[in-house]
Amino acid sequence: MPLKHEHGYRAPRHLRNAHLQTVLNSQGPRKLRARYIQKRLDSESLVLQAEDGTRLLAELDRAANGRSTLVILLHGWEGCSRSSYMVTTATSLLAQGSDVLRVNLRDHGGSHHLNRELFNSTRSPEVASALQNFVANHTYDHLFIA
């Protein structure tokens, strides 16, 4: 049975399949919107370095009316910092006054050339170290990771 929104919303019959909704979320109108948004973002490309020498590619977007808040966005398994959900989420956060750091994991988002070893999901300490180094050099009152 399709999920019903708390206010009684029910998706049209042809859009009720959860798998179809997932595909449309990343390949449909949201992807087109993300491409449009990406062109208008004034992102600063960064290379974050971990203590072990690992380098991760990231993009920093600064809010026009910043409130000293940084939200760090980490993508999913096959995503990257420019995935539609990352870009549209960043746009919402920027509109609320938060700076956004969109971080690519090793070998994602065109960063294959930065490190010799391949991506491995057990390498989360390198991400933590790179983020610690970034935060140590920037002042924010509030910090969130999503």
What's 90's domain CATH number? 3.40.50.1820
- Banded model confidence at residue 126, pLDDT cuts 50, 70, 90: confident
Distance (Å, whole) CA 19 – CA 15: 9
The reply to whether 8 falls in a domain is: no
Total number of domains constituting the chain: 1
DSSP codes, 22-69: HHHHHHSHHHHHHHHHHHH--PEEEEEE-TTS-EEEEEEE--TT--SE
Is 62 a domain residue?
yes
Look at residue 101 and tell me if it is in a domain.
yes
Q: Is residue 17 part of a domain?
A: no
Assigned domain for 14 exists: no
Mean pLDDT of 105-120: 68
Q: Which residue did the predictor score with more confidence, 114 or 86?
A: 86
Mean pLDDT along residues 3-22: 76
Distances (CA, A) of 2 to 5, 16, 22, 144: 10, 6, 14, 32
Q: What are the tens digits of pLDDT across the range 58-94?
A: 999 999 987 799 999 998 877 888 888 888 899 999 9
Residue 119 lies in domain: 42-145
Does residue 98 lie within any of the structural domains? yes
What's the predicted TM-score (pTM) here? 0.75
Task: Flag whether 26 is in a domain.
Answer: no
Residue 120 lies in a domain: yes
